[in-house]
Structure 1
Amino acid sequence: MNTAEVVDRYYELANAGEWDAWCDLFTADQTMDEQLAGHVEGRETLREMMRGFPQTWAVFANVPRHIVIDGNQAAVVSHISGRTHAGASVEADVCNYFRITDGLISYMQNVHDSVPFAPVLGK
Structure 2
Amino acid sequence: MIDRYYECVNAGDWDGWLKLFDEHFVMDEQLAGHLEGLEALRAAVAGLKQVYSRFQNKPRHVVIQGNQACVVSHLSAVSASGVPIEAEVANYFCVQDGRITYLANFHDTHPFAPILAPQSR
Residues 12-43 of structure 1 deviation map (CA, whole Å, 9 limit, x = unaligned): 00011111211110000000000000000001
Identity %: 53
Alignment-derived partner of residue 114 in structure 1: 109
Report how far residue 56 of structure 1 moved: 1.1
Structure 1 consecutive aligned stretches of length 4 or more whose deviation exceeds 3 Å: none
Give the residue type in structure 2 aligned to 1:122.
Answer: A
| In structure 2, C-alpha distance between the alignment counterparts of 1:105 and 1:11, rounded to whole Å | 13
Deviation at 1:98, TM superposition (A): 0.2
Alignment of 1:79-94 (within 5 A): 79-94=74-89
Q: Structure 1: which 5+ residue stretches go unaligned?
A: 1-5
- Paired positions, count: 118
Structure 2: gaps of 5 or more residues: none
Q: Does residue 24 in structure 1 map to residue 19 in structure 2? A: yes
Partner of 2:50: 55
Residue 102, structure 1, aligned to residue 102, structure 2: no
Give TM-score, length-normalised by structure 1: 0.93
TM-score, normalised relative to structure 2: 0.94
Q: Provide the C-alpha distance between the structure 2 equivalents of 1:97 and 1:52, rounded to a whole number of angstroms.
A: 22
Question: Does the 8 Å CA contact 1:19/1:51 hold for their aligned counterparts?
Answer: no
Q: Which amino acid aligns with 2:96?
A: T
